[in-house]
Amino acid sequence: MSPPALVIRGLAIRDGHGATVVAEVDLEVEAGGTLVLIGETGSGKSLIAQAVMGLLPQGFTASGTIAINGHAAVDAGQAGLLRLFWSRETMLLPQEPRAALDPTMRIGRQLFERTGRGDAVAALQAVGLAPAVAQAYPLMLSGGMAQRVLVASVLVGHAPLLIADEPTKGLDPERLDQTRDLLLSLEQAGRALLVITHDIGLARALGGRLAVLREGRIVEQGESEAIFAAPRQPYTRAWIEADPSRWRPSLRCCAVDAPVLAGHGLRFGFRGRPALFDGLDIHVPRGGVLALTGPSGCGKTTLGNILLGLQAPDAGQVSWAGADPYRDRAALKRLRRRYQKLHQDPASVFLPGRSIGLQLADLAEVAPELDLARDLPPLLERLRLDPRLLRRRPGDVSGGEAQRLALARILLMKPALIVADEPTSRLDPLVQRETIALLRELVAGEGVGLVLIGHDRALLAATADDVITIGR
């Protein structure tokens, strides 16, 4: 009988201030088997993956032992020894795809380093990407396309243990199914999988074993099918029941005659390629929610940037409360701070080497009326954020925590309109539901307009007044 692909015993992780964020975790992945790790945002799931790879953030420490593919157990604090297993024994599909790609190197060259040109192109095609993507740089790709490039890199690798951290985050339904099938094919080919996900559908489809993490501790563990059928812990039950497909659409009312944002006849396309969209009309009233959806790479994020005055359209007009930001520079300067973007990559709004608290305090330079001591604590409470996170740098918080901190940063600016690009893709179902409820409350109570970009049609249908599909 083959030894387990991964054995974790007594794993504890502490942050740079000595606080325990993961406590006494025991996990095991059988050779050729699958373990799915679920749980609340910020509970330590990604930290466990980083500990196995020897990639904990600077200042974090680990204790306990980690054994990989039958090799002798390694002290979890010995990051250098764990890194020796890279590529040959272990491979990580990280949560932030752009951070894992070299921005100065074309996609094809990054894949060709692992395999021949023919295999690399075949891997791109297997994840639904054209061979021409091999000539692109990472910044030329959408978030979903970058995610698929990383899946392609897994296909050309041969490590027997794959750790996938949110592998379906930011993917449209078709690509989500494709990635799920690819993960299943890797399992059938005998590769072991440790999959971290908030995607209930993916967790069900992968089967194997399931472990539930809450506040850094395993609260339930066993066969996936049995847990989904009859969860023993109330938290597990609540997590499963928070799936957006179970949400009830809310009744909303908005001022249809007072748009905070409008777009007329919008067209945009990259040079030498067909237009991503043409003749598109947009209308977002005060207190209204507009959803934009469509396949990965169809132009949703680009359209969001056009609506925010960040990228000029090829044709058409944008109106901010009656003023065109592309033609009226005074209006752009006057209204700029009231039209805000919640980025698909939340870490991109924070400087990497400075604490988040200091960066939020910097907002006073553009908003002198801001009283951080008064305004920030209730926001942190509503977003279920521990105030101690403000002492950390952006790289020392989870993706879900970074997303909610980025939302807090926007709300401090008292926006008139928010363009939210995949705002809950990094959140577990419970926090996702609470965050959407907060956005709804903000929209209804303060007359803020919301443009919601996403792939989850059940979530969009339950949240938006209108849904526009691009690229059909």
The CATH number that applies at residue 353 is 3.40.50.300
Domain end point (choices 241, 266, 295): 241
**Residue 108 in domain:** no
The 10s digit of each residue's pLDDT in 369-390 is 899 999 999 999 988 899 999 9
- In whole angstroms, what is the distance from residue 109 CA to residue 115 CA? 10
SS3 state at 182: helix
Give the strand pairing for 209-214 and 217-223: antiparallel
Q: Are residues 370 and 313 in the same domain?
A: yes
DSSP string, 261-300: EEEEEEEE--TTS--SEEEEEEEEEET-EEEEE-STTSSH
Q: Are residues 235 and 277 in the same domain?
A: no
42 Cβ partners below 8 Å, 6+ apart? 386, 397, 398, 400, 401
Q: Are residues 425 and 309 in the same domain?
A: yes
**Residue 133 in domain:** no
Q: Are residues 358 and 423 in the same domain?
A: yes
What pTM did the predictor assign? 0.74
Quote the domain boundaries for residue 174.
Answer: 6-89+159-241
**Residue 250 in domain:** yes
Domain end point (choices 201, 223, 241): 241
Q: Are residues 182 and 269 in the same domain?
A: no
Q: Are residues 311 and 459 in the same domain?
A: yes
**Residue 362 in domain:** yes
The two structure tokens encoding residue 205:
């489809």
Q: Are residues 231 and 376 in the same domain?
A: no
pLDDT at 389: 94
Q: Which of 157, 233, 243, 137 is nearest to 198 (CA)?
A: 243
Q: Are residues 433 and 329 in the same domain?
A: yes
Give the strand pairing for 417-421 and 339-342: parallel
Percent of the chain scoring above 70 in pLDDT: 97
The 10s digit of each residue's pLDDT in 425-467 is 778 888 888 888 888 887 888 889 999 999 888 889 888 989 9
Q: Are residues 256 and 344 in the same domain?
A: yes
Domain count, the chain: 2
**Residue 458 in domain:** yes
Q: Are residues 217 and 326 in the same domain?
A: no
The 10s digit of each residue's pLDDT in 238-258 is 998 888 877 866 555 555 556
